[in-house]
Amino acid sequence: MATTKRRLLLRLISVCASLVYLTVAVTAVAAAHELPRDGTVIELDEGNFDSAIASFDHVLVDFYAPWCGHCKRLSPELDTAAPLLAQLSEPIVIAKVNADKYRKLASKYEIDGFPTMKLFMHGVPVDYTGPRKAELLVRFLKKFVSPDVSLLETDSVIQNFVEMVGTDFPVFIGFGLNESVILDGARKYKKKAWFSVAKDYSEEMMVAYDFDKVPALVSLHPKYKEQSVFYGPFEGDFLEDFIRQNLLPPTVPIRFETLKLMNDDKRKIVLAIMEDELDEKSLKLVKILRSAATANRDLIFGYVGIKQWGEFVDAFDITKSSKLPKLLVWDGNEEYHTVIDLEDLDDNDQGTQISRFLEGYRGGRTIKRKLSSPSPFDFISSLTSIRTVYLIVFVVAVVMVILLLSTRSADTPQVTQDGAEVTEASISQDKSSSSYRPGDKED
């Protein structure tokens, strides 16, 4: 009898659990149906966030604060982009969250600056670091719903493809290659580059992309007008090494956006510091650096001008008396190395000087130094920290309260035991008439 009752109880519990699960599922489905799919920007909160992310394959979420000026300027751009993205064959939904109000969501997704955008792909978030103007934003996001490898049938299709993808990602085009050869790399690095294979092309394309035989894989960096060619071998780690090393151009101008890219790369950075990147001598040096970079793919070659970013250069102890251009090898963090007797470059045969510098670095003839200020990567990450903003607001509020209380205390007259008011004048007079005695306590 007891056993029968126990079985009935277990069945009842099982049925109740199934009903609860069904209710939750129905609720989630109902919530999903309530979310608009007409290309409007969806306002999310802690109640509908998870169901929205589960309902759509691709969701760009803007974590904003109502008081943030940058957020206010971004909002109309998202309103313009939303209907265009909704019309794609694989739609991308734009949503936004008041992260200042719904702080649990902000904490969960480590939001520490406004606005912060994250692209959720099948529920997995990645940071959005692309442009914020509507037209460029749409072009940028098309990358994430494009084929792993695009097939380009003619010269005109190749040209249209390069124009269509824009300048935010590097572009890899295979000539005389089967798409299956680069498919694994394309899937692995899809979030960081465009991949394509040209099925038919003319000699004009060979001249335009500077390759003289096939198979060849060409990497393009339209933003920096840089390109490289890889002739194989196309097996093992050789192909992936080429792709990974060409996610950055051969020579990289040091900027906020390029520092973020280099932060993801573990290679050391050969850094050329010059007075002005745009003068004739500096442009010539950049060309020489590009040749050196092609032969030394295990290093990143970067350059920066004092005129372009003096604050960055200051961290490497560059003064007005420093001889420029100057070469060093930076680890991307707090340390850098100079090569003994080969720090500075003169105008004579800079190619040979750079080769000797690299030989000296690889041979260990270096001096290790520390940055004179925190790592630029740490500086960038702290620029828009919400925690810093909150701390400043709190400190200011405390100071204002103290000043307010002090003012009220000063305005309130003091009363002695006999009922007489003590004014500032009388206090001053008492102080002037009294003198310090050795036994008194000094305040």
27: its two tokens: 């609720």
**Residues near 122 by beta carbon (within 8 Å), at least 6 away in sequence:** 57, 58
Query: CB burial class (10 A; 0-12, 13-18, 19+) of residue 418?
Result: exposed
Q: Which one is catalytic: 65, 71, 117, 327?
A: 71
**Residues near 233 by beta carbon (within 8 Å), at least 6 away in sequence:** 239
Can you spell out the DSSP letters for 115-137? Answer: SEEEEEETTEEEE--S--SHHHH
| Angle, vertex CA 140, rays to CA 113 and CA 42, nearest 5 | 60
Going by C-alpha positions, the residue among 142, 136, 208 that lies closest to residue 173 is 208
CA distance 15 to 149: 49
Going by C-alpha positions, the residue among 118, 141, 138, 110 that lies closest to residue 62 is 118
Q: Count the residues in the chain.
A: 443
Token look-up 């489905």 returns 29
Q: Which one is catalytic: 41, 68, 216, 293?
A: 68
264, 252 in Cβ contact below 8 A? Answer: no
Phi then psi dihedrals of residue 284, to 5 deg: -65, -40
Q: What is the CA radius of gyration of the chain?
A: 32
65: its two tokens: 């604060």
Beta bridge partners of 414: 422
Pairing of strands 42-44, 300-305: unpaired
276, 282 in Cβ contact below 8 A? Answer: yes
The two counts, helices (H) then strands (E), for the chain are: 16, 18
Is residue 16 flagged as an active site residue? no
Is residue 71 flagged as an active site residue? yes
For residue 269, the Cα-to-chain-centroid distance in whole angstroms is: 18
Active centre residues (catalytic)? 68, 71
